[in-house]
Structure 1
């Protein structure tokens, strides 16, 4: 699939918006699943984009850049991975296998963006001591430029050269390596689920885990259907806990009376 200039501009702008959202507004555009889905929508194949982004989202669970720590940029990885998967026609597994190294490589640009941003923030501190509100605002706006460029430049370059680059990769990568990449892409969701389960109270909610497993493995219920069942069980658990709290509170009042 050939990508047009309009699509390159749209996806690049979205990468910048997603980066800003992850730092400030927090609407969720920086989530790899959302980023991959929107990138896929802009590329004309939202399903593949959601598959790539959702899989990379599993890897990002429980990982945060607290205190300025640098983590893989799974958002940009999802965007470029989805785009490469759609342009190459090789499927979501191929996009995942490319999205992961992209996410790891962009950590270097993330460090550069943070380093550059400190220049503007130190200037903002200086103007704050002087009481210059206008220059404080200007420095904070200028501080967004390194962050924007750190994502816009690699995404635009990757998309612009992506069609030929991906085709070259597809034509020259040995079949055994391509098969290995696709196998690794299939294993990654299981790894992400395992990481997620590590942070959940499995012993306490093991019954729900069994229900989800039976729905997926034996009844072949689609993921959306399993999600609705999980939501319903969560609502029932919440209501049951609320009723128990009310009963305990009421019981205490009666005993006092």
Structure 2
């Protein structure tokens, strides 16, 4: 087990503010758990744990995407706290993922609360828009974004620094069966997240690629998944260029056959 120093906590707070603003604006997608987990591990001096925790969390959150006013569990707090809990308590990252979910839910509800309360600014924003008051609109955007950023900073600092001893005590006092339950749940979440992603993206014509990938990953003796990723990239490029040529072929076909205007259409 390790302890988080004040300097590390402040760096994590700063990182949370930056990626929190990125999540609010959906600008560079730095808020993805794989990035957040890796950066957290880098700050804590344990990149290996950060990569594993971030990768697990990324899979779990792969199919969870904000849509309109709906907000999934917060990926930033999930990736960050999974890494922090694994680092500070020494538990398996799968167990840490299950333990990190309450922090993710907390930030989810805070963001949903802001979605509702920030609607009070809309009347003022409409007025500024009618007046072409760019400075007024900028002030509203800066104010609301600053509130969100400050919230991320406060929640993360309290979670990783102030409450770290409490987290250690809770984890140490958990019975073995409960800890194992969190580990099993954390191990299942990546499969659930990937399944949700497949439910959206899976199409019948892509089934052969899915079978090929599953066979390669499951039965061929690779020391890591890099060869699988390379093969997947090659197949993706093949599919991309194949689909890119289809409109050209269709246009050529129309140009060759011509069109029938005998009906006046």
TM-score band w.r.t. shorter chain: 0.7 to 0.9
* Aligned counterpart for 1:240 among listed residues 226, 238, 242: 242
**TM-score scaled to structure 1, two decimals?**
0.88
More deviation, 60-69/148-157: 60-69
- Secondary structure at the residue paired with 1:165? helix
**For 1:164-203, what aligned pairs fall within 5 Å after superposition?**
164-203=165-204
How far the C-alpha of 1:101 sits from its partner, in A, is 2.1
Cα distance in structure 1, aligned partners of 2:146 and 2:166: 28
- Secondary structure at the residue paired with 1:166? helix
More deviation, 8-17/124-133: 124-133
More deviation, 231-240/66-75: 66-75
More deviation, 195-204/108-117: 108-117
Deviations 1:96-140 (A, max 9, x none): 112222211222222333344344554444444555443332232
How far the C-alpha of 1:31 sits from its partner, in A, is 1.3
- Secondary structure at the residue paired with 1:30? coil
Unaligned runs of 5+ in 2: 259-265
Kindly report the root-mean-square deviation, in angstroms, between the aligned alpha carbons of the 2 structures. 2.4
The residue that corresponds to 1:212 in the other structure is: 213
Cα distance in structure 2, aligned partners of 1:68 and 1:252: 43
Higher RCO, Cα 8 Å, sep 6+:
2
**For 1:107-146, what aligned pairs fall within 5 Å after superposition?**
107-129=108-130, 132-146=133-147
**For 1:62-141, what aligned pairs fall within 5 Å after superposition?**
62-129=63-130, 132-141=133-142
Structure 1 residues 100 and 224: alpha-carbon distance in aligned structure 2, compared to 1, 3 A threshold: farther
**TM-score scaled to structure 2, two decimals?**
0.85
Unaligned runs of 5+ in 1: none
Cα distance in structure 2, aligned partners of 1:25 and 1:195: 21
The residue that corresponds to 1:23 in the other structure is: 24
Cα distance in structure 2, aligned partners of 1:236 and 1:60: 28
* Aligned counterpart for 1:227 among listed residues 219, 226, 229: 229
Cα distance in structure 2, aligned partners of 1:241 and 1:118: 43
Q: What is the count of residue pairs matched by the alignment?
A: 256
Cα distance in structure 2, aligned partners of 1:54 and 1:249: 43
- Secondary structure at the residue paired with 2:72? coil
Structure 1 residues 117 and 234: alpha-carbon distance in aligned structure 2, compared to 1, 3 A threshold: same
More deviation, 55-64/89-98: 55-64
- Secondary structure at the residue paired with 1:3? coil
The answer (yes or no) to whether the contact 2:85–2:96 under 8 Å persists in 1 is: yes
How far the C-alpha of 1:85 sits from its partner, in A, is 1.0
- Secondary structure at the residue paired with 1:41? helix
The answer (yes or no) to whether the contact 1:120–1:140 under 8 Å persists in 2 is: no
The question of 1:43 aligning with 2:17 is answered no
Structure 1 residues 239 and 132: alpha-carbon distance in aligned structure 2, compared to 1, 3 A threshold: closer
